[in-house]
């Protein structure tokens, strides 16, 4: 199945979309990768959802990625007497390690990590930023804060610390159990929450190894400060705009989205833009004009994927939301200004053979006006380098490895196809032409560019580029070396 767009669509599965027949309809409507949110999914639920996705992929003979989103640490205040208290602007409020019912003056805070990391002057955000306080004093048992923005605060509401680097990693005990389970299931991508620094990613890498690709969620100010190192340590990046907009001024989020997207693209790492993209479609069959523009901006910026959360997990119109996302992307990519805007960010090739080959492939394909680029890839590295250039023609990723095909389903522009290794260079060219022809990427007397970054049975195939034209049966009729 060939998509009519290059940006990919990620959809979160949930109560509204857990049935196999609904998952199939979502795939047919345009989903490339399904997200399982472990914050709300039991191990049995995760297994059932993954089995359904794999069944749909097998039925349609199309690789579909599965992304497991690990919850990460969550910090919440304790219980209030009566369930809720009103905190006045300008008041002094205390967070106490002693466990007792809260009031308008104090509340239990059951997280020693916060007492260890917070310092006077740091901001505290409660209930998704609705209440704001500044720390004035700290002891080992009490944090005293000035209320900047008060309001009604309920039991077990969340607390965020945008200025504090907490002495804690990204995995809780629950997360470690969830991670072990989804790795055993064989998910393709792991999304990591609460990433504060590159070291967090590297520590998880020691657990995961090469069993799944790591997608780091940028949602904390400390991650922005270590962004380059986090990107280098990750396989992909997610712009988690919801949490980022809570912990930082919301007016900074659009600029940060562009900065993160630009840096990830320059590094050749897939970047996903997420949160509230079509939020109104949770309860409405059509989005707002502002939401459409928001999705379009991510596509114009060259993001690899755009993601739906509650819209597809619990929304009343999940199919319509996917169809809308698909239509927006197709419209943007056909806009006359799209190529200029997506290439406004220049990506300088790195001084490696793979990058040189990828840049050359882009230039040759554009100059000769070919119909498609075909990449033979075992790990996905060759295809990633080619798509980093954002060429203006379709890219096919041919691989004998199913996990590689599924991981590439998140990557901009790549249509993954499973195929056995070619035996010779001649077989490589013939196979690439036939598959491109059968999949509708090339017409008779049109050409494809074929590249490979690994031997595939012949030392001469390493970092290889070939141009071939096809006849009416998809066989090569001319080859340029």
> Which amino acids are annotated catalytic?
35, 76, 217, 275
Cα separations in angstroms, 352 against 131, 270, 349, 357, 389: 50, 19, 8, 9, 15
How much of the chain is in helix, strand and coil states, percent to nearest 5? 40, 25, 35
**DSSP 8-class letter at 422:** P
Give the side-chain half-sphere CA count within 13 A for 405. 19
- Which residue in 128, 121, 92, 119 sits closest to 107, CA to CA? 92
Beta strand pairing call for 464-470 and 447-452: antiparallel
Contacts of residues 131-139 at CB distance under 8 Å and 24 or more positions apart, as own/partner, are: 131/87, 133/93, 136/92
What's the first-to-final CA gap in the chain, in angstroms?
A: 30
Helical ranges in 130-240 per DSSP H:
173-185, 198-208, 221-225, 227-233
Half-sphere exposure of 320 (CA within 13 A, CB side): 13
Torsion of CA 442, 410, 17, 316, to 10 degrees: -90
Contact present, 215 and 72 (Cβ < 8 Å): no
What does each C-alpha distance from 470 to 14, 340, 452 come to in angstroms?
A: 45, 30, 19
DSSP codes joined into one string, 308-327: ESHHHHT-S-HHHHHHHHHH
DSSP-derived 3-state class of residue 411: coil
On whether the CB atoms of residues 207 and 175 are closer than 8 A, the answer is no
φ, ψ (nearest 5 deg) of residue 71: -60, -50
């Amino acid at each position: 199945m060939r998509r009519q767009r290059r940006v990919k669509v990620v959809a979160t599965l949930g109560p509204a979309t857990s049935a196999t027949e609904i998952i199939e309809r979502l795939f047919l409507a345009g989903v490339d990768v399904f997200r399982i949110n472990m914050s709300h999914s039991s191990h049995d639920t995760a297994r059932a959802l993954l089995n359904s996705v794999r069944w749909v992929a097998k039925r349609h003979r199309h690789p579909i990625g599965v992304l497991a989103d690990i919850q990460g640490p969550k910090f919440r205040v304790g219980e209030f007497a009566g369930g809720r208290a009103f905190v006045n602007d300008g008041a002094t409020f205390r967070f106490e390690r002693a466990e007792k019912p809260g009031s308008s003056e104090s509340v239990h805070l059951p997280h020693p990590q916060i007492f260890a990391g917070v310092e006077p002057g740091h901001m505290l955000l409660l209930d998704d930023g609705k209440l704001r306080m500044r720390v004035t004093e700290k002891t080992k048992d009490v944090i005293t804060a000035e209320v900047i923005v008060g309001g009604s605060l309920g039991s077990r509401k969340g607390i965020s610390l945008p200025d504090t680097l907490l002495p804690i990693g990204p995995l809780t005990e629950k997360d470690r159990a969830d991670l072990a389970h989804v790795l055993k299931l064989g998910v393709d991508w792991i999304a990591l929450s609460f990433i504060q620094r590159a070291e967090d990613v590297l520590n998880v890498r020691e657990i995961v190894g090469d069993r799944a690709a790591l997608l780091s969620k940028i949602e904390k100010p400390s991650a922005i400060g270590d962004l380059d190192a986090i990107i280098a340590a990750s396989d992909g990046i997610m712009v988690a705009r919801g949490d980022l907009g809570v912990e930082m001024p919301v007016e900074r989020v659009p600029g940060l989205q562009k900065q993160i997207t630009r840096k990830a693209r320059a590094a050749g790492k897939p970047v996903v833009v997420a949160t509230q993209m079509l939020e109104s479609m949770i309860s409405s069959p059509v989005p707002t004009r502002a939401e459409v523009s928001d999705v379009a901006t991510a596509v114009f910026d060259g993001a690899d994927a755009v993601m739906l959360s509650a819209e597809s997990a619990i929304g009343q119109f999940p199919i319509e939301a996917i169809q809308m996302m698909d239509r927006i992307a197709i419209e943007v990519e056909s806009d006359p200004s799209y190529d200029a805007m997506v290439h406004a960010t220049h990506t300088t090739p790195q001084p490696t053979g793979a990058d040189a080959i990828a840049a050359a492939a882009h230039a040759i394909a554009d100059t000769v006006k070919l119909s498609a680029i075909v990449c033979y890839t075992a790990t996905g590295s060759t295809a990633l380098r080619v798509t980093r250039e954002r060429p203006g023609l379709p890219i096919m990723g041919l691989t004998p490895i199913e996990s590689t095909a599924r991981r590439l389903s998140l990557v901009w522009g790549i249509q993954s196809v499973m195929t056995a290794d070619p035996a010779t260079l001649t077989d490589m060219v013939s196979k690439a032409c036939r598959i491109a022809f059968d999949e509708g990427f090339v017409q008779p007397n049109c050409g494809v560019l074929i590249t490979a970054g690994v031997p595939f049975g012949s030392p001469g195939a390493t970092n290889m580029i070939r141009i071939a034209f096809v006849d009416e049966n998809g066989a090569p009729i001319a080859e340029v070396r």
